[in-house]
């Protein structure tokens, strides 16, 4: 497998991202070529200082970077030579099979959507984030690609999330729920109520509405919502977990007795910390694209980048986009048969 890595957009600089690629090589992932896209000088400095010298590495120079402050579409128009666009082009030109970027989310989604196009029959792409819960892991989709959605978009998220959970995470019959303010069928906004009707028509294991209380109680494997709600939920959970861990550490360091107690119980704390670790997945795929694109966390460090690459190779090997394409076609046919009054959309 050939991967393209946008090494420039992360919070910690290209050195950390490149070290993540090195770790991915070391971990034995089947990578035949890795394109490092970014400033040539900085990349070669990083390669030298890391003593990372592997014939599979190629450098692709990009003179500009789309920063977190840039507005996506406007930024892409202004910075024609930015690393995100150049990395996307490697996929478009058939030189790479998958792309990993820790850069500007909106920029990545926009560049990929414009250059690679969406899969046929899909109107909006969605970011699928895997969130660990005590007894399962659920996919939250859309966690931030599009702020506002229509019912058909949520339906497509449901189908795509279901495929991802099954093919990549290994859930046989993933339970799909629409995130709402209550589990009753009549609870929700106009958007979720309409999406609810659509989800009942297609071939997924739809469990109806789920509410916040269900997320960490092993009642749902794929959680569907618009990107505004999904982004808020994702960041709230991250913030809460982080706040709690640092608070716990502070409390445990208050006196020697507590410290000794924490030492004895360290494996319990470690197990939880390991399972809750956002770096375990390292990134979230942008689903619905005609190409494999993985958004790594902006603050991703070496291990997170390595894991993002690993998860991407899993997705590519499982031909995730082909499966999505087939199942979206089926779903769209079901909706057409039901003769609902929905404006149908194929890739423009």
Q: Would you tell me which residues interact with its own copies (CB under 8 A)?
A: 71, 133-134, 144, 147-148, 179-182, 186-190, 211-217, 225, 227-229, 231-244, 246-248, 251-252, 254, 257-258, 260-269, 271-272
Do 249 and 273 touch, CB atoms closer than 8 A? no
Taking CA atoms, 271 is separated from 70, 100, 280, 305, in Å, by: 39, 28, 13, 21
Q: Which is nearer to its own copies, 13 or 261 (CB)?
A: 261
Cβ contacts of 234-240, under 8 Å, gap ≥ 24? 234/129, 234/131, 234/140, 234/143, 234/144, 237/131, 238/278
Tell me the angle at which helices 105-116 and 83-92 cross, rounded to the nearest 10 degrees. 30
Q: Where are the alpha helices (DSSP H) in the chain?
A: 14-26, 40-49, 72-78, 83-92, 105-116, 151-167, 190-201, 212-215, 227-252, 256-264, 266-276, 302-317, 320-337
**Positive/negative CA dihedral, 313, 318, 322, 326:** negative
What are 214's two structure tokens? 């269900």
- Among residues 287, 228, 302, 307, the alpha carbon closest in space to that of 11 is found at 302
Cβ proximity to its own copies, 225 vs 328, nearer residue: 225
Give the nearest distance from C-beta 25 to its own copies in angstroms.
32
Q: Which is nearer to its own copies, 248 or 335 (CB)?
A: 248
State the nearest-atom distance from the C-beta of 244 to its own copies, in Å: 7
What minimum distance in Å lies between the beta carbon of 106 and its own copies?
9
Nearer to its own copies, 180 or 325 (CB): 180
- Tokens 């090195």 — which residue? 22
- Distance, CA of 39 to CA of 61 (rounded, Å): 5
> Residue 64: which residues within 8 A CB-CB, separation 6 or more?
79, 80, 81, 82, 83
Contact indicator for 210, 186 with CB cutoff of 8 Å: no
Min CB(227)–its own copies separation in Å:
7
Q: Which is nearer to its own copies, 146 or 312 (CB)?
A: 146
Min CB(32)–its own copies separation in Å: 37
- Which residue lies nearer to its own copies by CB, 103 or 121? 103
Smallest distance, Å, CB 19 to its own copies?
A: 25
Cα-flanking dihedrals φ and ψ of residue 33, to 5°?
A: -150, 140
The residue (of 115 and 219) whose beta carbon lies closer to its own copies is 219
Q: How far is the CB of 165 from its own copies (least distance, A)?
A: 19
Question: What are phi and psi for residue 127, nearest 5 degrees?
Answer: -95, 130
In the complex with its own copies, the residue whose CB is nearer, 183 or 318, is 183
Residues 6+ apart with CB under 8 A from 314: 168
Smallest distance from its own copies to CB 274, Å: 11
Work out how close the CB of 15 gets to its own copies at its nearest, in angstroms, rounded to a whole number: 25
Considering the complex, state which of residue 116 and residue 237 has its C-beta at the smaller distance from its own copies.
Answer: 237
């Amino acid at each position: 497998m050939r991967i393209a890595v946008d090494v420039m957009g992360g919070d910690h600089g290209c050195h950390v991202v490149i070290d993540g690629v090195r770790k991915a090589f070391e971990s034995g992932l089947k990578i035949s070529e890795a394109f490092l896209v970014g400033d040539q000088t900085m990349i070669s400095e990083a390669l030298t200082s890391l003593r990372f010298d592997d014939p599979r590495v190629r450098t692709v120079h990009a003179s500009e970077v789309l920063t977190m402050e840039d507005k996506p579409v406007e930024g892409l128009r202004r910075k024609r030579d930015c690393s995100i666009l150049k990395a996307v082009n490697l996929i478009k030109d058939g030189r790479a099979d998958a792309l990993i970027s820790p850069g500007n989310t909106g920029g990545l989604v926009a560049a990929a959507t414009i250059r690679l196009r969406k899969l046929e029959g899909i109107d909006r792409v969605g970011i699928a984030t895997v969130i660990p819960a005590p007894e399962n892991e659920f996919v939250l989709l859309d966690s931030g690609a599009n702020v506002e959605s229509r019912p058909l978009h949520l339906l497509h998220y449901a189908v795509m999330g279901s495929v991802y959970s099954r093919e990549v995470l290994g859930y046989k019959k993933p339970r799909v729920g629409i995130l709402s303010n209550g589990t009753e069928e009549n609870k929700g906004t106009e958007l979720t109520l309409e999406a609810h009707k659509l989800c009942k028509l297609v071939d997924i294991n739809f469990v109806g509405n789920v509410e916040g209380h269900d997320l960490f109680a092993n009642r749902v494997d794929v959680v569907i919502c618009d990107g505004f709600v999904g982004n808020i939920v994702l960041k709230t959970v991250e913030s809460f977990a982080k706040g709690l861990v640092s608070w716990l550490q502070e409390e445990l360091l208050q006196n020697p007795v507590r410290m000794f107690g924490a030492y004895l119980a360290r494996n319990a704390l470690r197990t939880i910390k390991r399972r809750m670790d956002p770096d375990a997945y390292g990134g979230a795929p942008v689903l619905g694209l005609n190409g494999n694109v993985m958004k790594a966390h902006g603050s991703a460090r070496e291990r997170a980048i390595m894991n993002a690459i690993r998860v991407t190779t899993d997705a590519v090997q499982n031909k995730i986009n082909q499966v999505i394409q087939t199942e979206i076609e089926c779903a769209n046919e079901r909706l057409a048969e039901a003769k609902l009054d929905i404006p149908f959309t194929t890739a423009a």
